[in-house]
Amino acid sequence: MSQSPEPSPAEGRPRRSDARRNRDRLVEAARRALSSGEGSLSLESVAREAGVGIGTLYRNFANREQLVEAVYEAEVDRLVTRAAELADRMPPREALRSWLVEFAGFAAAKRGMVEVLGFGAVAGPGALDHTRTLKRIADAITPMLHAGAQEGSLRADVDPQDVVILVAGALMPVRTDADQTARLLDLVLDALHPTRSAA
C-alpha cells in the first residue's frame, strides 16, 4: 500500500508557524513604537523593525487600526498572564507592586494608541472594548488583593476595578518619567495598605 507523501516545508504547519511568528514580530514592533513616545506609527518602520516586508504586514493587518487593536489585545493578554505568574511566585503585596510596574508599561502603550488613532477611532464599534478590558484586568488582580487581605498586607475593602481605575488615572493622562512613575505606584500601594485601628 502506498503512503501519502510527507508535506513539504512550504505546506501545512511550517507555513502557519512562520506566519504566526511574523505576526507576533509585527505586533511587538508596533508595541515598541507606540510606547516610544514619538507620537507616530509608520507601518513601513514597523515592518522594517519586525524584519518583514510591507506586504507581509498588510497580509496580517489591513490597516493601522487593526494593527493597533492587535497590540492592545496582546498587551491585555500579557497583563492577565503576568498577574497569575507573579501571584504564584511572590507575596501578594510584592506581586502587586511588580504587576503595577508592568501596568505602567501598558499605560504608556495605550496612551500611544490614543495619540496615533484619536479618541474616536479607539472608541469605534468593535475596537478596544474598555469595559471588557477593565473587567479582565480587575479579575486578574483579584486573587492578589484577596491573598493580601488575608495575610494583612493589603486592604480588604477595595474593589479590584477601583484599583485599576486609580492606577490608570494616575498614569495614562500624562507622560511620566521612571522616577515619577515609581512614586505614583508607591502612593497607590500606600492607599491599599490596611487601615490601622486607632489605639
Instruction: Give per-residue pLDDT as tens, 54-69.
Output: 999 999 999 988 998 8
Task: Please say if the pLDDT value at position 8 is more than 80.
Answer: no
Domain boundaries, the chain: 13-191
pLDDT band, very low/low/confident/very high, at 37 (cuts 50, 70, 90): low
* 87 alpha-carbon distance from chain centroid: 17
Q: In CATH terms, is domain 13-191 a member of 1.10.357.10?
A: yes
Task: Annotate 139-153 with DSSP letters as a single string.
Answer: HHHHHHHHHHHHHTS
Task: Please say if the pLDDT value at position 1 is more than 50.
Answer: no
Please name the residue ranges forming H helices in 36-171: 43-50, 54-60, 64-89, 92-117, 119-122, 130-151, 160-171
Instruction: Give per-residue pLDDT as tens, 110-161.
Output: 777 766 655 433 444 344 567 888 899 999 999 999 999 999 999 999 999 9
